[in-house]
Chain A
Amino acid sequence: MKPMSLSLKAGLVISAVMFAIAALAPVIAPADPYQTHPAEILAAPSGAHWLGTDQLGRDVFSRVVHGARTSLLVAFFVALIGVGLGAVLGASSALAGGWIDTAAMRTVDIFLSIPSLVIALALAAVLGPNLVNLTLILGFLGAPFMARVFRSEALTLAQQNHVRASALLGAGFGFRLTRHILPNLGPLFATLVSTSMSSALMVASALSFIGLGAQPPTAEWGALIYEGRNTIMYEWWCAIPAGLAIALSATGFILVGDGLRDWLDPRSSQA
């Protein structure tokens, strides 16, 4: 196997650090992210509060650290739902072939022709704006595109002799899908989960920023920036750090996604 590129390694390190921060949030955060301190409202960064306090006197550093849990968990599940559903749909469609395949791909075409934001807003309006609904909505909306990608990969697999032989020997649809097709989509799966985590993080935090995701007082990066935007003129420390956290995490996921794609692709050179 060829060596990993420098940017793939950098991406893996960044992503690992961000996940470690999320996992160890209660250990790392010096204060309770929800504890208000009326006496210490909008205090500037200091030894006691590394990133100052917000308009309710909460420790901003602790809120950003705990925000990693919410934001990364949402991004992960959005990516997992979208890529997972897409893998199953795309692989089934390719393996089934015929009119089922045609019908499924036409449906995908239709969904890809509708801007996903309008469906997301319509669903959020009816289901109610909260983080769980947002995660499910964005996950489902990611599936059509993923289904198309997985289908073209699965089509190649389904034509291979061992899969066709398996069918001749009487292996059913489910057996071929779960034993022959899906396991071989693993590398593509890993690449797409990583790439879509970055876009999921961006979209979910944008929608949380406008109030359709995490609700106060939840520590979530998009919501933290929303809470901090009114004090941005003089107390920059409320909104800026959470945005840096988003940018850093997204950069990590992009580097991992791009790097994995090149690393796992036997055709690409090491340029």
Chain B
Amino acid sequence: MAGFLLRRLGFMAVVLVCVTLITFLLIELAPGDTARLLAGPQASEAAVAQIREEMGLDAPLAARYAGYLADIVRLDFGTSVVTGRPVLTEIAERAPATFELMILASLIALGIGVPLGVAGAMHRGRAPEAAARAVSIIGASAPGFWVGLLLILLFYRTLDWFPASGRFTGTPPDAITGFLTIDALLRGDWTGFRIAFAHLLLPALSLALLELGVYARLVKNQMLGVLGQDYIRVARAGGLNEGEVLRHHALRNGLAPIVTIVAASLATMLYGSVSVETVFGWPGAGRFVVQSIFKLDLPVVMGFAVLTAAAYVIANALADLVYAGLDPRVRLE
């Protein structure tokens, strides 16, 4: 266990060093003057010279990378060339909106996809299996941002049940966690919770669709594997009904791997998140970084890359630990 943790931490460190190397080299090798890129297109010559001085841009490449890495370790990602504020502050302000969206989307995808996958495996060749297959194909072929537009047409334009844009209408509850739904609940503000949740639901549904299909398909295949095992046949032969077999024997073994799939699928969810945030005017980190690309705000883009990669690597390591906890057959060596 200790050995696994050490090796895992070592690998995480290597991955993050590689990410910083990529972002560093991209800034270095970008066409044009690096100091000018980091200062922004509107900066004066004096500001550019000051950046060159501060960053030690005349030093050798290796020394500059060491300096860049040291800054990142101290959580200094530089300043946005557009707003002049620290990159970390800019991203941290918007990260909760994106996390809130991705978490609800994951919950929706799990809440529908897992039961559908289990039902598909239990009833092979009948309606539940066909439904699981249909959902996995629709999820993988209908673009989330386009589904978002359809949802807006139906639930905002036609039915007027849900808002089409933003995170809140009126004054949002004061931040505790930054998750508006949670903050409203913590403050006992039911109206605030309803408003925040109504804004959250349509973008989360659009984002959930792809993962929903992925989970339905994987759970179905996983459960088919487990249900074919000898110990399941023994349990059935011993007189347990299907519900008991499922509860006591099949579900835990069949579902444990989903933990690692959920963590791994955060990477594909990021593609959905940047486009769905655009559709719903969602003030998250994804939309912000896309706008930063158009404003040539390189420090923000590179800071986002490093932070997101770090979050992803940590999430996947945690998922491996949880998986090992759920499935005693897995040895963390």
Q: Which residues of A contact B (CB under 8 A)?
A: 109-110, 113-119, 121-126, 129, 198-199, 202-203, 205-207, 209-212, 222, 225, 229, 232-233, 236, 239-240, 242-243, 246-251, 254-255
Chain B contact residues, majority secondary structure: helix
B279 lies within 8 A of chain A by Cβ: yes
- Report whether A232 and B152 are in contact in the complex, using a CB–CB cutoff of 8 Å: yes
Q: Shortest distance in angstroms between A127's beta carbon and chain B's nearest beta carbon? A: 8
Q: Shortest distance in angstroms between B268's beta carbon and chain A's nearest beta carbon? A: 8
5 nearest A-B pairs in the assembled complex, by CB-CB distance: A243-B146, A250-B141, A115-B267, A118-B305, A117-B270
What residues of chain A lie closer than 8 Å to B141, measured between beta carbons?
198, 202, 246-251, 254
Q: Which residues in chain B, 275-318, are within 8 Å of chain A measured between CB atoms?
A: 275, 278-279, 289-290, 292-294, 296, 298, 301-302, 304-305, 308-309, 312-313, 316
Q: For residue A208, which residue of chain B has the nearest CB?
A: B275
B19-27, B95-103, B251-259 - interface stretch: B19-27
Q: Shortest distance in angstroms between B88's beta carbon and chain A's nearest beta carbon? A: 16
What residues of chain B lie closer than 8 Å to A254, measured between beta carbons?
137, 140-141
Q: Shortest distance in angstroms between A245's beta carbon and chain B's nearest beta carbon? A: 10
Q: Which residues in chain B, 123-179, are within 8 Å of chain A measured between CB atoms?
A: 137-138, 140-147, 149-150, 152-153, 157
B271 lies within 8 A of chain A by Cβ: yes
The answer to whether A202 and B301 touch (CB under 8 A), given A114-B312, A225-B149, is no
Q: Shortest distance in angstroms between A197's beta carbon and chain B's nearest beta carbon? A: 11
B47 lies within 8 A of chain A by Cβ: no
Q: For residue B146, which residue of chain A has the nearest CB?
A: A243
B30 lies within 8 A of chain A by Cβ: yes
Chain A contact residues, majority secondary structure: helix
B266 lies within 8 A of chain A by Cβ: yes
Besides A115-B267, A121-B289, 10 new A-B residue pairs in contact (Cβ under 8 A), listed by A number: A113-B11, A115-B312, A118-B304, A124-B293, A126-B26, A126-B298, A129-B293, A212-B290, A243-B150, A249-B141
Which listed residue (B15, B147, B275, B298) contacts A209, Cβ 8 A?
A: B275
29 contacts between A and B (CB under 8 A): A109-B11, A113-B15, A115-B270, A115-B309, A116-B267, A118-B305, A119-B305, A121-B290, A122-B23, A122-B26, A122-B301, A122-B302, A123-B26, A126-B30, A199-B140, A203-B271, A206-B144, A211-B294, A212-B290, A225-B143, A232-B149, A232-B152, A239-B146, A239-B149, A240-B150, A243-B142, A246-B141, A251-B137, A254-B141
Q: For residue A114, which residue of chain B has the nearest CB?
A: B309
> Which has the most chain B C-beta neighbours within 10 Å: A113, A116, A205, A222?
A113
Q: Could you tell me the distance between the alpha carbons of A124 and B27 in the complex, rounded to whole angstroms?
A: 12
Q: For residue B141, which residue of chain A has the nearest CB?
A: A250
What residues of chain A lie closer than 8 Å to B27, measured between beta carbons?
126
Q: Could you tell me the distance between the alpha carbons of A239 and B148 in the complex, rounded to whole angstroms?
A: 11
Which listed residue (A205, A207, A222, A232) contacts B153, Cβ 8 A?
A: A232
The answer to whether A212 and B275 touch (CB under 8 A), given A115-B308, A126-B298, A250-B140, is no
Q: Shortest distance in angstroms between A192's beta carbon and chain B's nearest beta carbon? A: 15
B322 lies within 8 A of chain A by Cβ: no
B119 lies within 8 A of chain A by Cβ: no
